[in-house]
Amino acid sequence: MNISRTITISLTAACALGLAACGKSYTTSDIPSGGEKVPAGLDVAAPAFKPANPALAKKPTVTVPSGAAPKKLVIKDLVTGTGTVATPTSKVSVQYVGVLYNGGKQFDASWDRNQPFSFTLGQSQVIKGWDQGVPGMKVGGRRELIIPASLAYGPQGQPPTIPKNAALVFVIDLESVG
């Protein structure tokens, strides 16, 4: 028997023993490739964020103020967090709801995807209103940002959901920093 065949047989036996020790065997067809449900007993999801404040455990309702849209960024803490503070260059993970200032129609929400959104502040990965409005938040906090068009998508908008020159309102929950 040649050495290559001996190594192959040994590795195959080791893999079989390793799978047998797991209590259930899986084949490559058991591995989700996109859209399929994960087999029972195989937990591949990241642990869910569990906020200290129960109010942050569900999607917020966004209330648009009356009157004309502001020309400058408006920041309002709805819940003050108690964790790590986001700096202007922090990597953060958030849950959010975004609505149009005019009419209050929701155009996006990470809550609806059941998936937090992660990005690095100060790297132009998000609109300027977020880069300016998220720093200073603490993990576990909920903040409302009323963002003028100049700090959002400006004259080009983000068709078809965000018209040109649209002011936006976001409620953002900071889940993690770092």
Of residues 127, 146, 162, 172, which has the active-site annotation? 127
Of residues 49, 108, 117, 119, which has the active-site annotation? 108
Any catalytic annotation for residue 107?
A: yes
CB 95 within 8 A of CB 117: yes
Strands (E), the chain: 74-79, 91-100, 106-109, 117-120, 142-147, 168-177
Any catalytic annotation for residue 117?
A: no
Of residues 49, 107, 117, 119, which has the active-site annotation? 107
Any catalytic annotation for residue 127?
A: yes
Count of positions (residues) in the chain: 178
Of residues 131, 146, 147, 153, which has the active-site annotation? 153
- Give me the half-sphere count of Cα atoms (radius 13 Å) on the Cβ side of residue 166: 24
SS3 113: helix
In three-state form (DSSP H/G/I as H, E/B as E, the rest C), the secondary structure along 69-102 is CCCCCEEEEEECCCCCECCCCCEEEEEEEEEECC
Of residues 101, 146, 147, 170, which has the active-site annotation? 170
CB 78 within 8 A of CB 171: yes
Any catalytic annotation for residue 96?
A: yes
Cα–Cα distance, 43 to 33 (Å, whole number): 15
Q: Which residues are catalytic?
A: 96, 107-108, 127, 153, 170
